Amino acid sequence: MGEFTLLTTDACLFALLAVAIVYCLQARRHEHLRAPWREVWRRPVAVGASVVLGAFMLVAVADSIHFESRAGSGDGDVLSALDIALRPLRTGSETTYSAPLAAYAYSRESVVDESGKLTRIYPRLVHGGAHLADPGREHGADVARRAAAGAASGLLGGLALSTLCVLAVARRRNRAPVAAARLLLAGRAGFPWRSLLGVSTALLIVIGICAALAPHYHVFGTDKVGNDVLYQALKSVRTGILIGLLTTLISLPFALALGIAAGYFRGPIDDAVQYLYTTLSSIPGVLLIAAAALMLDVYMTRHAADFDMLAARADLRLLALCAILGITSWTSLCRLLRAEALKLREIEFVVAAQALGVRSTTILRRHLLPNVMHIVMITTVLDFSGLVLAEAALTYIDIGVDPSMDSWGNMINGARLELAREPAVWWSLAAAMSFMFALVLAANLFADAVRDAFDPRLRQFGADRDLPAATRES
Amino acid sequence: MDKPPIVTDTPTAAPALLEISGLRVEFGAPEAPTVAIDDLTLTIARGETLVLVGESGSGKSLTALAVTRLLPTAARITGGRVMLGGDDLFALPAAGMCAVRGRRIGFVFQEPQVALNPVMRIGDQIGEVLHQHLGLRGAERQERTVEALRAVGIPDPARRAREYPHQFSGGMKQRAMIAIALAGEPELLIADEPTTALDVTLQAQILALLKAEQRRRGMAMLFITHDFGVAWQVADRVAVLQAGRLVETAAREAFYRAPRHPYSRALFAALPKLERRVVSAPPAAAEPLLAVDNLRVEFPIRRGVLRRIVDSVRAVDGVSLRLDAGETLAVVGESGSGKTTMGRGILRLVPLAGGSVRFRGEDLAALSAAALRQRRRHLQVVFQDSYAAMNPRMLVGDIIQEGMLAQHLGASRAARETRVAELLAQVGLEAAHARRYPHEFSGGQRQRICIARALAVEPRLIVCDEPTSALDVSVQAQILDLLRDLQQRLGLAYLFITHNLGVVAQLAHRVAVMHQGVIVEEGPVEEVLFAPCHAYTQQLLAAVPKIGDGADA
């Protein structure tokens, strides 16, 4: 392990995490922030989704702690904590394609056997199932045994976690552990523990199975140059999450400052902002992104000396993609914020502040900004999944992240040709899809809960609810 | 705690149409519910009008919604029975309720603006009811639609039926709403504060219309209001609700002659009456504190691609008035008369189109933005909606300190906090309230906080823009007392904007009547209210619902 290095996107991610922690501390002290979050944590779906999101986040953070590798170690120029943890996956590469959990290669190769005769056979893999003496007989049983052991350890982990939670609840409520467990199981503990523990246990079982199989097999197979697909998919998590988060970070200042100012001041400022965002949103986004990617390429070839590390190059491209996505995507939020500010400026507390002689900048900061934050929160979480998908789409048409960088978009891009060959190689696509699906689904479910809790308009009227039990039966 | 017993009259001899018995509605978690309606028992006979009166939050509207099973999601019925002409409404399936709503029970809401569908023609909205409940189609439906609009007094109904809600004025919208409610020929009409959003002159017309239609059709009516004047105009019987409990039901004459329950009596005592005059004469002054001369405020109308100004709405069209220190000038007028805009114009919170506003001889209209910001500490404002008037994200203490910070008053945070405690005590609150959020207070308390915020910068003049209109009568009386007390102690001048003539009589020294952007009559309260000269003032006074006049005529 070498010296700790900080790539630009790492710094951005850690800064974002710091902001999130500061927000949490802030939210704990302010009732108007705490109340909607309490509402979010009351929903079982939101809690389940946040467990999955948390797992993805953990992978992304582990993949963002980078170390410069020692010269001559045979590794790339920088390694992350995740790379080090997944060393067997990273180094155990084959020569070319192999199917998930296979012990033999996917295609026939010409091999010269001991007697010097040239035969075309499916050769054994270098790492996948290398410990088996006779894969034909032992393979199935070995996989089943290892998977069962992994699942069992995952289940055990889940049970241990559940026990800890039960004990914590018992301590807090001053109950006997058995009573607390019953409370948890009945779902009456005030927090959806069942969904938290259920999803955690399921996740731990999946992780357990993968962890048990990964050192001996390629769980998701290998790609064209023999790299492990599970490793690639895991590495892509950071790319997806970074794009989802950094883009928002870059677009927020534009949207907030311009949107609120336009709505509050109206007149020429409003005209200018409106002109800006209508113009910007009428340029096709893909075109703008393609142009920016091209310009960056030219810049990097001219200044090749500054980008000696491969990782730094890829990193800069990722950041540039976030920036350009951010610059093209602030318009919709800006429009929403302008409309809200137009409404707020007429509300009496803003007029009262004007009547007290409070300066405009102070009014914007103290009265308008806190009162539009719920919109920002809702749009941010709703946009996140869209941006993860946008990365995949853009990389697919080759204007996204650097081809050398692991990303779901790159995996899908590669799968275009793999699916066309016979027999088709489907696992790259399947791996990218299932990871992306899990992340986006969790993000969407979470976003729904956040929107329901934060949007005051959704707490409205309904009809025909909750008649007295006696009359319902009659 | 001992509660005074419920006072009820003997039920009328006529057969009951609606029978509510033991109704209970709860909010919140089932383990610790908030009881919104507690054991409510009521009957309404056929052809009878029962007026449900009570302060806001007493459960008047919830009762009406519970009867039709249209309660908000958070509320639930946990007990009781509602019988409509022998049918148990709580036992009906959801589809059965659809046949009741609109057909057997008609509904008129407070806000016609919200209750009408803005993208449907008025005629189609009435036709929908006719089709749904009476199965009418084609020419017959068309004919009945026009007839329904004519019955509620809409001129040229055939043409009006093809128009959209935005083409109707406020009063016409409420008439259309009534036409929709009556289209299904209901046995029972529920009117939930149908005139609260309307001006007094329109209110008188709508009340007369409702009463006439009820008589003609022999329909029963459940009328909800917080206004005892309105209740007198329409009621056969009166029921008083207090915090979800029915405290008194009585026939109208008996109730108004001598309310028997202590709560009813307290409500009566708090009513601002035109006759009551307890305002001491204003101190004489040589130079006016505020002199407004020919003030004009216009809102431009922009048209076309280039958004050029083609015309303007003259909201305030040449208003002149003067106000001495320690004096209260009331400005009365109907909504849309420009009184609120005038108040904001004087404070330069809206751009002025012309005229001058001299405060202690200095023209505010000519000041630069920075100079104006400094002068703002002398002129403050209190709004009608105390909920909207405070940033929900700020603590009360910070809200009150905001003006001090902007005007650089108070040397340190500690000094400002001491002053906040002082101010809170001055308006009848506690120092500990500074660490709470606005939503934790009742309407009256919130208005007190707003007054404290205005006082924080030691103003000479406060523009009070309908500060008590959103409050219940008992709270209104307290706030008026507070304002009068502050005036005597601090020598404040008030420009008091209101539509409630009773409030004027209680608080003001002089009164100005505003109509369509101009002041039509101005003078001492006694003269204007009891011997009005201008025809509009006379009309306005005549329309105020008064208790004990011949509404039955």
| pLDDT tens column, B369-380 | 999 999 999 999
Sign of CA dihedral A390, A391, A393, A398: positive
Residues of chain A positioned with their CB less than 8 A from the CB of B69: 463-464, 467
Average pLDDT over residues A380-399: 84
Q: Confidence band (pLDDT; 50, 70, 90) for B11?
A: low
Whichever domain contains A345, its CATH number is 1.10.3720.10
Residues of chain B positioned with their CB less than 8 A from the CB of A367: 391
Task: Report the share of chain B in percent with pLDDT over 70.
Answer: 94
> DSSP H helical segments within A303-419, as ranges?
310-344, 348-355, 360-363, 369-396, 408-418
Q: What's the pLDDT at B505?
A: 84
Average pLDDT over residues B509-535: 89
* A456 pLDDT above the threshold of 50: yes
- For B37-67, what is the HEC assignment? EEEEEEEEECCCEEEEECCCCCCHHHHHHHH
CB contact, 8 Å: B383 with chain A? Answer: yes
Q: Give the Cα-Cα-Cα angle B294, B298, B301 (nearest 5 degrees).
A: 160
Tokens standing for residue B207: 């009340």
Q: Confidence band (pLDDT; 50, 70, 90) for A452?
A: confident
Of A125-134, A199-208, A353-362, B41-50, which range is least confident?
Answer: A125-134
Of A313-322, B301-310, B389-398, which range is least confident?
Answer: B301-310
3-state secondary structure of A460: coil
* B166 pLDDT above the threshold of 50: yes
Q: Which of residues 79-138 of B touch A (CB under 8 A)?
A: 79-81, 88, 90-91, 94, 97
Q: Which residues pair with B329 in a beta bridge?
A: B495, B510
* A103 pLDDT above the threshold of 70: yes
- Say yes or no for a CB contact (<8 Å) between A355 and B347: yes
Q: Cβ distance B69 to A464 under 8 Å?
A: yes
B435-486 pLDDT per residue, tens: 888 888 888 899 999 999 999 999 999 999 989 887 888 888 899 999 999 9
- Say yes or no for a CB contact (<8 Å) between B73 and A347: no
Residues of chain A positioned with their CB less than 8 A from the CB of B393: 30, 32, 370-371
CB contact, 8 Å: A361 with chain B? Answer: no
Task: Report the share of chain B in percent with pLDDT over 90.
Answer: 37
Q: Which of A186-200, B71-85, B447-461, B517-531 has the highest mean pLDDT?
A: B447-461
Task: Report the share of chain A in percent with pLDDT over 70.
Answer: 94
| Average pLDDT of every residue of chain B | 87
For A113-240, strand residue ranges (E) read 118-121
In which domain, by residue range, is A350 found? 232-473
- Over its C-alpha atoms, chain B yields an Rg (Å, rounded) of 26
Q: Confidence band (pLDDT; 50, 70, 90) for A33?
A: confident
Q: What's the pLDDT at A1?
A: 54
3-state secondary structure of B367: coil
Q: d(Cα B475, Cα B330) in Å, to the nearest integer?
A: 20
* A167 pLDDT above the threshold of 60: yes
Q: Cβ distance B49 to B234 under 8 Å?
A: yes
Q: Cβ distance A194 to A48 under 8 Å?
A: no
Residues of chain B positioned with their CB less than 8 A from the CB of A190: none
Q: What's the pLDDT at A457?
A: 57
Q: Cβ distance B19 to B278 under 8 Å?
A: no
Of the candidates A266, A446, A243, A254, the one whose C-alpha atom is nearest the C-alpha of residue A342 is A266
Residue tagged 């309105």 (tokens)? B230
Q: Confidence band (pLDDT; 50, 70, 90) for A462?
A: very low
Question: Which of B383, B391, B402 shows the shortest C-beta gap to A356?
Answer: B402
Q: Confidence band (pLDDT; 50, 70, 90) for B4?
A: low
3-state secondary structure of B224: strand
Is A3 inside any structural domain?
no
Show Cβ contacts of residue A308 under 8 Å, excluding neighbours closer than 6 positions.
none
Q: What's the pLDDT at A209?
A: 93
CA A363 to chain centre: 36
Q: Which residues pair with B464 in a beta bridge?
A: B382, B496
Q: Give the Cα-Cα-Cα angle A165, A171, A173 (nearest 5 degrees).
A: 100
Number of domains, chain A: 1
Residue A115 CB coordination number (10 Å)? 6
Question: Which of A32, A355, A358 shows the shortest C-beta gap to B393?
Answer: A32
Q: d(Cα A106, Cα A315) in Å, to the nearest integer?
A: 33
- First-last CA distance in chain A: 74
State the DSSP H helix or E strand holding residue B496, giving kind and residue range, or none if neither: strand B493-498
A136-157 pLDDT per residue, tens: 888 889 999 999 999 999 999 9
* A463 pLDDT above the threshold of 50: no
**Residue bearing the bigger pLDDT, B198 or A159:** A159
Tokens standing for residue B379: 């002129």
**Residue bearing the bigger pLDDT, B6 or A462:** B6
Residue B216 — φ and ψ, nearest 5°? -60, -40
Tokens standing for residue A155: 């289940």
Residue A346 — φ and ψ, nearest 5°? -90, -15
Q: What's the pLDDT at B277?
A: 61
Q: What's the pLDDT at A468?
A: 38
**Residue bearing the bigger pLDDT, A139 or A309:** A139
Is A113 inside any structural domain?
no
- Say yes or no for a CB contact (<8 Å) between A464 and B69: yes
> Which of A348, A362, A461 should we substitute to test contact with B (largest number of B Cβ atoms within 10 Å)?
A348
Residues of chain B positioned with their CB less than 8 A from the CB of A371: 391-393
Half-sphere exposure of A388 (CA within 13 A, CB side): 27
Nearest CA in chain A to B409: A356
Q: d(Cα A222, Cα A232) in Å, to the nearest integer?
A: 10
Q: d(Cα A273, Cα A271) in Å, to the nearest integer?
A: 6
B231-243 pLDDT per residue, tens: 988 999 999 998 8
Is A64 inside any structural domain?
no
Residue A395 CB coordination number (10 Å)? 25
Q: d(Cα B282, Cα B328) in Å, to the nearest integer?
A: 8
Please tell me the distance in Å from A282's CA to the nearest CA on chain B: 19
Please tell me the distance in Å from B459's CA to the nearest CA on chain A: 10
Torsion of CA B325, B331, B337, B343, to 10 degrees: 30
Q: Cβ distance A428 to A420 under 8 Å?
A: no
Q: What's the pLDDT at B345?
A: 93
Is A453 inside any structural domain?
yes
| Average pLDDT of every residue of chain A | 85
A177-195 pLDDT per residue, tens: 888 888 888 877 778 888 9
CA A226 to chain centre: 26
Average pLDDT over residues B2-13: 63
A219-274 pLDDT per residue, tens: 998 888 888 999 999 999 999 999 988 898 888 999 999 999 999 998 899 999 99
Of the candidates B225, B142, B215, B151, the one whose C-alpha atom is nearest the C-alpha of residue B181 is B151
Sign of CA dihedral A345, A347, A349, A351: positive
Q: Cβ distance B544 to B229 under 8 Å?
A: yes
Q: Confidence band (pLDDT; 50, 70, 90) for B27?
A: confident
* A89 pLDDT above the threshold of 80: yes
Of the candidates A48, A28, A26, the one whose C-alpha atom is nearest the C-alpha of residue A38 is A28
Of the candidates A126, A128, A87, A93, the one whose C-alpha atom is nearest the C-alpha of residue A226 is A93
Q: What's the pLDDT at B335?
A: 78
Q: What's the pLDDT at B299?
A: 84
Residue B500 CB coordination number (10 Å)? 17
* B550 pLDDT above the threshold of 50: no
Question: Which of A354, A371, A462 shows the shortest C-beta gap to B73?
Answer: A462
3-state secondary structure of A126: coil
Average pLDDT over residues B276-280: 58
**Buried residues in B172-204 as b, exposed as e (16+ CB within 10 A):** bbbbbbbbbbbbbebbbbbbbbbbebbbbebbb
Q: d(Cα A239, Cα A321) in Å, to the nearest integer?
A: 11
Q: Confidence band (pLDDT; 50, 70, 90) for A199?
A: very high
Average pLDDT over residues A47-69: 92
Is A414 inside any structural domain?
yes
* B551 pLDDT above the threshold of 50: no
CA distances from A121 to A95, A112, A113, B181, B403 (A): 15, 10, 10, 85, 86
CB contact, 8 Å: B305 with chain A? Answer: no
Q: What's the pLDDT at B514?
A: 92
* A313 pLDDT above the threshold of 60: yes
Q: Which of A453-467, B38-52, B196-210, B272-286 has the highest mean pLDDT?
A: B38-52
Q: d(Cα B454, Cα B329) in Å, to the nearest integer?
A: 18
Residues of chain A positioned with their CB less than 8 A from the CB of B453: 352, 356
* B1 pLDDT above the threshold of 90: no
State the DSSP H helix or E strand holding residue B454, giving kind and residue range, or none if neither: helix B443-455
Please report, as a single letter, which amino acid is at residue B63. Answer: T
Q: What's the pLDDT at B278?
A: 56
Show Cβ contacts of residue B401 under 8 Å, excluding neighbours closer than 6 positions.
B410, B416, B417, B420, B456
Is A410 inside any structural domain?
yes
Nearest CA in chain B to A190: B29
Of the candidates B221, B244, B245, the one whose C-alpha atom is nearest the C-alpha of residue B231 is B221
Is A96 inside any structural domain?
no
* B358 pLDDT above the threshold of 90: yes
Nearest CA in chain A to B82: A471
- Over its C-alpha atoms, chain A yields an Rg (Å, rounded) of 27
Is A467 inside any structural domain?
yes
Q: d(Cα A9, Cα A315) in Å, to the nearest integer?
A: 7
Question: Which of A356, A466, A467 shows the shortest C-beta gap to B403?
Answer: A356
Q: d(Cα A262, Cα A266) in Å, to the nearest integer?
A: 5
Please tell me the distance in Å from A236's CA to the nearest CA on chain B: 40
CB contact, 8 Å: B181 with chain A? Answer: no
